[in-house]
Amino acid sequence: MTMDKRLTPSELVRIFARVQTERLILRRPRATDGSAMFRVHGDPETYRYTPVDPDPDLATSEATLRRWLDQWDEEGYGYWAVALQQTQDEVIGFGGVRRFVWRERDIANLYYRLTPAVWGNGYAAEVAQAAVQFARAHLSHLPVVARIRAANIPSLRTAERSGLLRRPDLDEDEHLIFALGW
């Protein structure tokens, strides 16, 4: 019988705070990542399929960043800042999993948003695969879920390549659902 032991936030943060994939560094965001947050979340191109407007100003992106950092502090994991190993510190986007309540259950919500200059290189797939692997291995009590608009083909492809399964039985009016562990 396997024990589903839940890791504490201090154990989780040691696992999640810095992850290296083939080409990327996935790291806990820092308070100084506000301008990178705004570069990605203020760019209308990255909101083409998202029903909300891009962030109107730096302060809005910084407020979101603070909420993400608070969640890291409390829970030991959350969305990563994504950098290329080649350039180390230049943030090209954000993604990963954070705990989220959906249908009255805690889930590990899968997310990715990269700056358009780097699209088409398979980086999102690399982020998503690492996020799903880490969530299944270390947050096994949480289903991993991605909710994606049907028109957002790059995002659908990324979810497929992450290892999540398409779940038409869970679809919503606005979103197609991919999941593992639900």
Ligand X SMILES: CC(C)(COP(=O)(O)OP(=O)(O)OC[C@H]1O[C@@H](n2cnc3c(N)ncnc32)[C@H](O)[C@@H]1OP(=O)(O)O)[C@@H](O)C(=O)NCCC(=O)NCCS
Contact of 110 with 132, CB cutoff 8 Å = yes
Residue 53 exposed, middle or buried by CB count within 10 Å (0-12, 13-18, 19+): exposed
Q: Is there binding between residue 122 and ligand X (CB under 6 A)?
A: yes
**Of 95 and 143, which has the nearer Cβ to ligand X?**
95
Only one of the segments 21-29, 72-80, 96-104, 115-123 lies at the binding site for ligand X (rule: CB under 6 A); that segment is 115-123
Question: Total residues at the site for ligand X (CB under 6 A)?
Answer: 21
Q: Which residue shows structure tokens 């994606």?
A: 148
d(CA 167, CA 118): 29
Nearest residue (CB) to ligand X, 56 versus 122 = 122
Q: Which stretch binds ligand X (CB under 6 A): 44-52, 79-87, 98-106, 137-145?
A: 44-52
Among 154, 166, 170, 175, binds ligand X (CB under 6 A): 154
Q: Which of 66, 83, 73 lies closest to 19, judged by CA?
A: 83
Q: Report the chain's C-alpha Rg in angstroms.
A: 16
* Binding segment (CB under 6 A) for ligand X, from list 1-9, 64-72, 137-145, 151-159: 151-159
Told to check if 61 binds ligand X by CB under 6 A, we report: no
Q: Pick between residue 13 and residue 46 the one whose CB is nearest to ligand X.
A: 46
Q: Which amino acid is at 39?
A: R
- The C-alpha atoms of residue 63 and residue 36 are separated, in whole angstroms, by 13
Q: Can you give the binding site for ligand X, defined by CB under 6 A?
A: 46, 49-50, 111-114, 119-125, 148, 152-155, 157-158
